[in-house]
Each structure stands twice: as C-alpha cells, then as structure tokens.
Structure 1
Amino acid sequence: MSLKPNLKLIAANAVLFGSLLAALACAPTPAHAERLKDLASIGGVRQNQLSGYGLVVGLDGTGDQTTQTPFTVQAIMSMLQQKGVSLPAGTQLQLKNVAAVMVTTSLPAFAQPGQNIDVTVSSMGNAKSLRGGTLLMTPLQGADGQVYAMAQGNVLVGGAGAAAGGASTQVNQLAVGRISAGATVERAVASSLGADNQIKLELNSADFATASRVVEAVNDKFGPGIATALDGRVIRVRVPSSSDQRVSFLGILENMDVKPAEAAAKVILNARTGSIVMNRAVTLDTCAISHGNLSVTIGADTQVSQPPAGSRGATAITQNPSVSVKKDAGKVIMLNGGASLAEVVKAMNAIGATPQDLLSILQALKAAGSLRAELEII
C-alpha cells in the first residue's frame, strides 16, 4: 500500500472546501433571539455621575508647580484653615508634592450608604505624575449639588516614567490614576421603581416591529394585557405589588428571549479617519460606478541670466511655470439591482477605491438614489 499523498484527491477536497466556505458566506444570517435585557433597559434603573475637586499629596516632587497653578495653593490654604492651621498673611507656598485633581465616578443604581465604589483621579494642573500619591478626603457631588459619596485612598497609576541627563521616557498616562473601592456612598438616590404597579421598558433603539414583538412575547408568557406598547421605544409592563414578587418578575422578564426585527440599512462614514461601516441590510439599485485618478502638477523652472563681464547690466531671474496633467486609467463597474453588501464591497475593491474614495462614491450613490440605506456621516 502506497503512503504517497493523492494530489488529485487533495485538490478536489480543497475545491469542495472552498465552495462550502463561499456558500456559507453567501447564506443569509438567521435572526437570533436575544435576551430582553440586551434589547431594553428598565426606566429609572440607571447610573448617576458624580465628581469632586480634591488634592493628592505625598508625591515625589512630581506635583503641581504652584506658581503656575494658583488654585492648588488656594485649596491647600483653605484645607489648612479647616484643620486649624493659620498661615501668616502674604505667605508664598512652594510645594512640589501636592497636585489638584478632579475625582469622578458613577453611582450605580440602588446603591446604599456604606457601599464602596471605584473612582478615577485626574490631574488638573501641570503635575508630572500622580504615582505614589494619596487622595485626601474629597466629597463627590451629583448634578443637583448634593454630596452622595466621599473619596479617599492611595492612587494607583498604571504608567511609569523616568528621566536622566536630559533624556526621558514614559509608558502610559501618569496624570490619571484609579482607586479601587476608593469612595463610600453616603446618600442613596430615591427610586420610583414599580410605582403604580408598573414599569417602563425602554428599547435601546426605537423600532416599532421590535416593540411589537416584545409585547407579544411578554403577553404570551405572563398573560394578556401585561405589556402595552406606548410607542416605538417605550413599553409599559404591569408588575406585582409585592417587592419580593416584583424582583422575581423582573428577573424572569429580563432573561426572556425575543427576536428583534431586522435592523434598518445604514452606512456610517467617519470623515476624519476614513472608516466606513455598513450592515448586511445595505443594498444597491442598478447603477454604474466609475473610478479614476486625475493628478495636476504645477511647478516653476527658475532660470538666472548673468550679464557679460564689464557691462552695466543686472542679474535677471526668470521663472517659467509648468503645468502637467496626468490621468490614470479609470474603470466602470456595473451592479445589478438588489446587490448585497458582499457584492458592494467586492465591486469597490475591484476598482481600487480607497476609504476616502468610498466616502465620495457612497455620497454620490445616495444622491443618485441608488443606495438603499441611510447615510450617516460622523
């Protein structure tokens, strides 16, 4: 029995495998069911942003230059006065181990006093690094001006830096750090969850078909009349009056599987980076696309004319402008009506279009009415 490979069999298998991959790539993607918690959120269950102004001390000479950051000096003097330390009038503080910072965090939904949350500490002045510093007690306020948490602790900076002999190197950002469990919640946000024995489900994206499917799925599981669609985004759901039963009901509700409606055809263009993203619902009407490069070069040939020796003439400088136009060979691609995203991308690659060229091509297709998609430029 020969152990040599059968080259014809291998080639046939390779062709069969390639055809299978092509068929799978062209096959329509079935709509998968998603959990309701991934499609919608419960009205009123949200985070709240908090921020505060504080001081980081204990830096190794990498703090703010107080001559250029007067707010750091003012904060230090105010803190010392609160601690009972009086400074003589006209005192000029020259500190290098202190930095003024902004402390930010998000207060989770249903957070209660005594719970700990993480905070981010960011330099406000010209501090070189917050590495090794300690954040002093900082009140964190909400949009209403009320204090909801107090932050304090050692700042952890993920970067590193070194300098010697005029040379320096730095890895990552040194002016921003984080304190794990660095803030303690002092005030809870009032919640109206379940008021009037009802909640509101808010879809992440407004879609009447998806809202209708959610209402149908909820009513099929819990009974008719439990869910009612108010519009294409908000769905009102009746919940039990008991808090224990309500929590159990919402847990089951969030983990229900719902098949969302097909997403609307959309093309996102980023004019700054040239990136383009299209979903699989994007199609084209019958159209022809032409692509060619036209380059215009304008130059000037400078010539110097010297007068003969002994003459009274002056040196003359003249410029002879030159203009040249070069046009590369263009290509025309014909696309039949109903072309899919794969055919669109294949056609664009065939004519050698760059992302910047695609920006203009897609805009022209939209203006001509051939692009069956919403065009959004960011």
Structure 2
Amino acid sequence: MTVHGNGLHAFGEQPLPPWRRAVLKVGSSLLAADDGGLTDRFAADLARFVADCRAQGREVVIVSSGAVAAGRGLLHTDAAGLTQRQALAALGQAPMIALWQRLSDVPVAQVLLSHDDVRNRRRYLNARATLRELLRLGALPVVNENDTVAVDELKLGDNDNLAAVVAALVDAEVLLIATDIAGLYSGHPLRDPHARPVPRVDAITAETHRMAAGDAGAIGTGGMRTKLEAASKAAAAGIGTALFCGRDADTVAALSRGTLHGTWIAAHGDRLLARKLWMRHAPAGLHGVEVDAGAAQALGVRGASLLPGGVVEVKGEFGRGDLVEVRLAGDATARVLARGLVQYNATDLRRIVGRHSRDIESILGYRYAESVIHRDDLVVLPQEDAA
C-alpha cells in the first residue's frame, strides 16, 4: 500500500517532543528497487536526516529491513519458502549494510538480534552494552532481525516490533517508523473513500486496530497492524511513536526541524518508571555489594554509575544481570542504598573489587562494561524505603 505526496498536507504538521536518542525503523518498501535488489532513492533522505540529527548532538539507531529483498536481487529469484527466505536474508545482509555505509559519513555497525536476545537477561545486557558502546564511539548501529536463524520471527516479519524492543533496549525517547504511507487513516485509504487521516492516537484500542486492517503489499511483511503493535509496546515503555511517509522528502526533512507530518502515538507513564519500580520493590535477598563512602555519595548525589573502584566487598553469589543490593561498607544498620542489575557475576566482581575500570579487561580477559551497575539499571532508594 503506497499513499504519499498529498499525505504531507493531509496530515498537516505537529511538533515532535524533544528527544536525545531515537530508533528509526525503515521498512523493505523504502529500500527495495523495482527491478530487484536495493535502491537508495528514499534511503538517502533518511540517511541525511540521521546526519542532521547527529550534527544536533542527537543519537539514532536504525532498524532496517531489506535483507531478503537484497538477496532476491542477487539471485533474481521469487522464492518465498521459509528456508529460501532465510538463505536470501543471509545473502542480503552484506549489501543492505553496504547501502547504509555508502550513505553515512560515520562507520556503520551491523547488529543482528533475535527475540531470544532480549528474553535472556544475560544476552539482553550484552546487546544493551554493545549498542551503548557503539553510540559512545560515534558509530551508526544498524539493527536487523537475525532472520537466518529466527524462524518464528521471520515468519512474522516483525522488524516493527523489534524496533520497539530496541527503543526500550537503548532507552530511546522516540520511535520513528518510516513507511510508504503518510500515517494512520480511519480506514484503508485506497479502498475506503471516507478514510481520513488520524494525526494523533492517545491510546491504542480495538477501534484503532480496525483502522489498520489491510495487508503489507508485495514487498513488506508487516503492515499497519504490526506498526500499531510496535507503538503499543513502545508506549508501555514510555516511548512515543511517529508514523510517517519515508518516501516524501519534505516529510523526512521536517523531522530534522522537530516537525511531524504523520501520526503521533503517545506514550503513557514515565519512560523508566516500570523498570525502576520493579528494581525498587523486587526482593533481592542478601546478595549484593558493599561500597565506600565516595561511591555512596556518587550514587545518591550525582546519580552516577557504580564503578569497581568504589566496591569494597561482594556479598553472596549472583550472576550477570541479577538484581543486587548496594550497601555502605561498615554501616551497622545495613541500610540498602540502591538496587540494580549487575554487569558482572559475583566471582568475577570479586577479582576487580577496588580496581580502576581500565584494569577490568587485563584482569578478567574481557570487559562487558566499565561500570559494575550502570546508572540506567540502578535505582537509589529513599531512606524510608531502604531501612
């Protein structure tokens, strides 16, 4: 389904909320060439938007479809079986990444994820740490579903939902979904003469899903239905979603100025509230770490991450990604200062207690992160909660 051009004017304009980090999902219909393979016809404008954002001090992670289309272009085949599509995805990954690298003035990093990578806590933290480090290094992460092995996800064609997961993974403030339609309409815009643009959705309901009835066309494997599913997941994580036409250069350029011509699907609640509430109230038992006064002040006053240099002692046994408690060493009241998700298991953490972050790799032979608990994975407890 392709509706663009006058969609810009039909949807008018509305301001995007301020954001520092975004996930941009680009569908196959924006990358696939008419004669097979990939084209930069629309991707060039999207890449220019990403470059403009970077110049403004913002960070963007791309979730890109197109690998299967690229594989089809290499072999000139219309094969559609599951195993065939998996093989085409493997063949198409390289040209898909090459397309984004050609359009980017910074290094492009390929990150392949499956839903298992976010279900498993250890792999979730690995993916989270890798994406954060790539952004810190100034690279452009391009994420795709690991279609070669992700059987169920490939059948669902769920890069829309994967984009919502990635948005939560990197603590993005906004999810931007570029598609070949101007936004959400009250009905199918090519079949319903009474269909009208829906510029804003405050809550996704059964009626909202009825508006999205229809297929994804010959190339895409999702459609408006999966985009609403993704927006619903993002909203639950406190992340708003913008649906817009990635084929309209003016619409894409307007995003750089903070203006949306499309549909805004509002978030509800605080972006980090659910995770913070869980960390605050979940029972963490007796496992945890004791820290010195300097680290305690850095956590409580400056909102800093917990570094190994501030850790005095490790209590109990725990694995990477477990919820642990942070206490002040020598405090007779054993008051809990904070709770958080730890980046190293108890055995490895004991080896780096009191050491500088730069020494982690030389001691352990690897380094997941420079912090023991990253500030985004840590909640400082008020005194009345910590007693």
- Going by fraction, where is helix more abundant, 1 or 2? 2
Taking structure 1 as the reference length, what is the TM-score of the superposition? 0.21
- Going by fraction, where is strand more abundant, 1 or 2? 1
Taking structure 2 as the reference length, what is the TM-score of the superposition? 0.20
Q: Larger Rg: 1 or 2? A: 1
Q: Which one has more relative contact order, counting CA pairs under 8 Å at least 6 apart?
A: 2
